[in-house]
Structure 1
Amino acid sequence: MKGNRWMLSFGLLILMSASVFGCGQEEGTGTTDEIEGTYLCYVNTEEDSLARESYEIQGETADEEVEDVLEEMQKEADSIDYRSAFPDHVSVTDWSLTDGRLDLTFSDSYLRMSKGEEVLLRAALVETLGQIKGVDEVGFFTGEGPLTDSDGQEIGYMSPEDFVQNTGSTLHSYQLQELKLYFAGEKGDCLEPETVSLRYNSSTSIEKLVVEQLIKGPEKEGMLAVIPPETRVLGVSVREHICYVNFDQEFLNGAPGVTPEATVYAIVNSLTESGNVSQVQISVNGESDIQYMNRIDLGKPLTRNPDLVEE
C-alpha cells in the first residue's frame, strides 16, 4: 500500500470550498498528477491536513469498492508520517448506496470528536469515496439522525467539490470573500444586486455560502428576501459546472410579496455570478420533478436570467 505521499492543506471554508477540493503538494515533491490510479486519504502527524497514499481499490461493483475503502480507512496506517482519519473508537456501523448517494452511519462516539477531527474525517472520506464510480455524494449520520452544524442545520450531502485546496493555510484559517447576490426589488417582481463582503472559516463551499446568505436576506432597505427564513439547506454540490441545491419543504411556501420567478432566478443568478457555475438544479427533499408555485418547472437545470435584473 506504499506509494507517493501528497499533503492536502485544505482550510475550512465555512460556506464554501467553492474551488476544487484535493490533496495539495508536499514540499520537495512534484504535482498531484504524478499519482497514478486510486488512493486513500490519511491525516498527517500535525493533524491539520490530509495525505494521499496510493492504493488500488478492490471490488467489481460500487458496493464492493465502498466496502473495501471503508475497511482499509479504518485500519491503522503503515507509516509514522500519517495516521488513519478515524480517531480511536469511531467507526462506520452501517452504510447504503442509492442513486449515487452514499449514506454513512457512525458510532455514537462520532459526536465526541473535536471539530478539527470531524472535518478531517469528513474530508478524507468524501475525497476517497468520491473516486468510486457510482458515488456522487456522501451523507453523514449517527443513530440520532443526520449530522447537524452548530446552528442545528443539517450538513447535508457532500461531494469533493465541497472542500477547497488551500495550500499553506491551517485548518482554522479565515478568508475574506466578496459576493454579488440578487434579491427582489420593492415590488417583488424584479431583481436587484447587492454586494457583500464576508469573512468566513474555510470549510464549506462558496455555493453554500451564497445560498445561506440568500436565506439570511438583504442588508439594504427596499429589497426583499427571496427565500423563506425557515428554509433549511439539505445539500449544495457542484458537478460539471452545474450547482445542485437541495432545500427542505419550507422552500415551497415562497417568500412574502415575491414572485416565483424572482425567487428562482435570484438563486440561479447569484450562484452563476462567480463564473464557476453555469446552471443550477433546484430540488426539494431530493425531488426536482416540481412545478414551483405552479409556474416554474424545476425538473431540469436552469440558466441565469438577466432580464429580471434592474441595476
Structure 2
Amino acid sequence: MVQKRKYNRKYNKVFLLCLIGALLFTAGCSLVKESGKESGKGGMYIYYMNMEGTSLAKVEYTTMNSTEENMIEDMLQAMREEPESIENKSVFPLGVYVRDWVLTDEILDIHFSSAYGRMKPEEEVLLRAAVVLTLSQLKGIEYIDFFIEDEPLTDSMGNAIGYMGAEDFLQYKGSSLHLYQPRKLKLYFANENGDRLISEEVSVRYNSNMSIERLIVDQLIKGPSIDGLCPVIPPETKVIGVSVKDTVCYVNLDEGFLNNTCVSDPRVAVYAMVNSIVDGGASSQVQISVNGESNIKYMGIIDLSKPLSRDQNLVEER
C-alpha cells in the first residue's frame, strides 16, 4: 500500500491555469479541476499506455472517495493495475512502485522505488506523463515533483526535472512518443564584470516533448560552458512552470531567483532570460514571475509586472 503523509507547512501559493477538468462532486465539494476541457461521464481519467508503448491512452475513472489523500492513493493503485481493455497496459513496469508521497499546499512530491532509475527512457517518459496527467486532475494538486527513493529525478544531463504540471505533457494525449533530438541554442550569459551580456551557442539533446522555452530556461540555470562567461541565474533556482500564450512566454521561478549574487546589474539576469527565449523560441515577450507573483521589482530595480521585450543594448559583441 502506498504510504501517505500530508504536512501543514505554509508555502507561497503558486499560480497555474487549470488545464484538465470537469466536475466530480463529493460532499458538496469538487475535487476535480474545472475547465473547458473534455470530460468523461465520471469526470476523471486514468492514463495507461498502448500495447506498443508509444503513446498514452485514457480510461474513464469514477470514485466515491471524498478526500484528496484517498483519491491520490486510489488513482495510483488503479494506474498499477492492468486495465480491462486488451489494447492498453499499465505504465508501471515490474518492480516500479510509489514508495511514499507527500502533499503540501498543492505540491505533490512522489517517491518511487529504486527500480524507477532502471527504466528505459521511453518507459520512463510515458510513466511520468501518465502520472502527472492523472493526478493533476485533482483540485488540490497543481504541481508534481518526482524522486527516486529520496533523490530528485534528473534528466540525461543531470539537471533536476523539478515541478511538473499538466501543461508540460499535453502532447502526450493520444500522440506518439518522441525521444531525444539535437538542438542548437543561442544563450546569453554575463561577462566577467556581470554588467553586460555575451552570447554563447550551445548544442544540446533534449526530449522533443519539452518546450524550447523550458529547455532554454533550464540551460540558463545550468550556466555557461566556456571561460570568460558567468552565470546569470542562481543554480539553486527551481523552475515552477514555463508556458507560452499569445506570443508571450510565462516563466515562473521559485524564490531562488531573487537571491542572485551572480551579476552586478540586475538587468543582466532578467534580459539574459528574455533575450535567450525570444531569440530561440516563438515568443516576442517574456513575463517573469516568482512563485506566481509578478507584481515585484527584481533586486529592487527591474519591474516584472508586465511582459518584457528583448534588449540588444545590453549585449557585448565579442
Structure 2 length as normaliser, TM-score? 0.67
Q: Is residue 235 from structure 1 mapped to residue 239 from structure 2 by the alignment?
A: yes
Query: Could you tell me how far apart the structure 1 residues matched to 2:258 and 2:300 are?
Result: 17
User: Which range is displaced more, 183-192 or 149-158?
Assistant: 183-192
Does the 8 Å contact 1:207/1:236 carry over to 2?
no
Q: Aligned match of 2:113 in 86, 107, 118?
A: 107
Does the 8 Å contact 1:45/1:82 carry over to 2?
yes
Q: Aligned match of 1:49 in 55, 59, 62?
A: 55
Q: Aligned match of 1:153 in 156, 159, 178?
A: 159
Q: Cα deviations across residues 158-194 of structure 1 (Å, max 9, x unaligned)?
A: 1122235177654426375x76654557975455777
Q: What residue ranges of structure 2 are gaps of 5+ in the alignment?
A: 1-18, 21-36
Query: Could you tell me how far apart the structure 2 residues matched to 1:277 and 1:307 are?
Result: 11
Query: Could you tell me how far apart the structure 2 residues matched to 1:145 and 1:269 are?
Result: 33
What is aligned with 1:295? 300
What is aligned with 2:6? none
Rate the CA distance shift 1:147–1:219 in 2: closer, same or farther, 3 A.
closer
What is aligned with 2:252? 244
Does the 8 Å contact 1:58/1:64 carry over to 2?
no
Does the 8 Å contact 2:285/2:309 carry over to 1?
no
1:206 positional shift: 2.2
User: Which range is displaced more, 209-218 or 75-84?
Assistant: 209-218
Q: Cα deviations across residues 190-237 of structure 1 (Å, max 9, x unaligned)?
A: 55777878664324332321113334667999x954526x82553341
What is aligned with 2:179? 172
Identity, in percent, stands at 40
What is aligned with 1:13? none
Q: Aligned match of 2:69 in 52, 58, 63?
A: 63
| SS of residue in 2 equivalent to 1:111 | helix
Query: Could you tell me how far apart the structure 2 residues matched to 1:270 and 1:63 are?
Result: 41
Does the 8 Å contact 1:180/1:194 carry over to 2?
yes
What is aligned with 2:149? 143
Select the structure with the greater relative contact order (CA < 8 A; seq sep ≥ 6): 1
Does the 8 Å contact 2:180/2:205 carry over to 1?
no
What is aligned with 1:212? 218
| SS of residue in 1 equivalent to 2:132 | helix
What is aligned with 1:254? 262
Query: Could you tell me how far apart the structure 1 residues matched to 2:82 and 2:255 are?
Result: 38
1:144 positional shift: 3.5
What is aligned with 1:281? 289
Query: Could you tell me how far apart the structure 2 residues matched to 1:161 and 1:98 are?
Result: 20
| SS of residue in 1 equivalent to 2:59 | strand
Rate the CA distance shift 1:232–1:115 in 2: closer, same or farther, 3 A.
farther
Rate the CA distance shift 1:187–1:108 in 2: closer, same or farther, 3 A.
closer
Q: Cα deviations across residues 249-308 of structure 1 (Å, max 9, x unaligned)?
A: 8963314xx51221123224544663397522246xx9999986x53579x766315567
Query: Could you tell me how far apart the structure 2 residues matched to 1:264 and 1:122 are?
Result: 31
Letter in 1 for 2:66: E
Query: Could you tell me how far apart the structure 2 residues matched to 1:203 and 1:105 are?
Result: 23
Structure 1 length as normaliser, TM-score? 0.69
Q: Aligned match of 1:86 in 84, 92, 98?
A: 92
1:59 positional shift: 3.0
Letter in 1 for 2:181: Y
Backbone CA RMSD of aligned residues: 4.1
User: Which range is displaced more, 92-101 or 34-43?
Assistant: 34-43
Q: Cα deviations across residues 100-130 of structure 1 (Å, max 9, x unaligned)?
A: 1101111222222222221111110001111
Query: Could you tell me how far apart the structure 2 residues matched to 1:226 and 1:145 are?
Result: 25
Query: Could you tell me how far apart the structure 2 residues matched to 1:205 and 1:64 are?
Result: 33
User: Which range is displaced more, 178-187 or 38-47?
Assistant: 178-187
| SS of residue in 2 equivalent to 1:165 | helix
Does the 8 Å contact 1:214/1:226 carry over to 2?
yes
1:131 positional shift: 1.0
Q: How many residues align?
A: 273
Rate the CA distance shift 1:291–1:275 in 2: closer, same or farther, 3 A.
closer
